[in-house]
């Protein structure tokens, strides 16, 4: 069997791994084995926390809508129920945006629900 020299490829692989862990603390940014482990964990956390971030945003929408509806003496749950009964199809993301940036538009929505 012929001899395979892996110097260039091995260095390239090592350089790639260590460049991904640049800025990590302690040996995780300089030692290859620790760097590989750190990359694996970082990828797992990144995936899970992307999902968590979406959940956090949804909760924030609810809080913003609730804060806006309290100004009109109504709770969030009653507001959403009234929207469904009046067949006003606006999702929570848009509602929270309207509540925080366009209070006059949100007021018109509230009047449409109460009428």
Contact (Cβ atoms closer than 8 angstroms) between residue 18 and residue 35: yes
pLDDT in tens, 28-57: 999 999 999 999 999 999 999 999 999 999
pLDDT, residue 14, reads 95
Q: Which pLDDT band holds residue 5 (cuts at 50, 70, 90)?
A: confident
pLDDT in tens, 97-115: 999 999 999 999 999 998 8
CATH number, domain with residue 80: 1.10.1900.20
Domain contains 48: yes
- Provide the whole-model pTM: 0.70
Domain contains 50: yes
Contact (Cβ atoms closer than 8 angstroms) between residue 110 and residue 73: no
Domain contains 2: no
Contact (Cβ atoms closer than 8 angstroms) between residue 17 and residue 36: yes
How many Cβ atoms sit within 10 Å of the Cβ of residue 48? 10
Helices 32-70, 92-101: crossing angle, 10 deg rounding = 70
Domain contains 104: yes
Per-residue pLDDT at 6 exceeds 90: no
Structure letter (DSSP) for residue 28: G
Mean pLDDT in residue range 71-91: 95
Domain interval for residue 56: 9-114
Give how many domains the chain has, as a whole number: 1
- Tokens for 14, please give them: 């090592």
Domain contains 3: no
Question: Which residues does 81 contact at the CB level (< 8 Å), separation at least 6?
Answer: none
Structure letter (DSSP) for residue 27: G
């Amino acid at each position: 069997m012929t001899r395979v020299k892996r110097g260039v490829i091995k260095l390239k692989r090592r350089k790639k791994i260590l460049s991904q862990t640049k800025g990590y603390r302690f040996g995780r940014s300089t030692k290859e084995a620790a760097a590989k482990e750190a990359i694996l964990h970082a990828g797992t956390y990144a995936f899970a926390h992307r999902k968590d971030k979406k959940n956090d945003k949804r909760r924030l929408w609810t809080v913003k809508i609730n804060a806006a509806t309290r100004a009109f003496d109504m709770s969030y749950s009653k507001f959403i129920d009234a929207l469904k009964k009046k067949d006003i199809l606006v999702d929570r993301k848009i509602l929270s945006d309207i509540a925080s940036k366009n209070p006059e538009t949100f007021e018109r929505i509230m009047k449409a629900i109460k009428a």
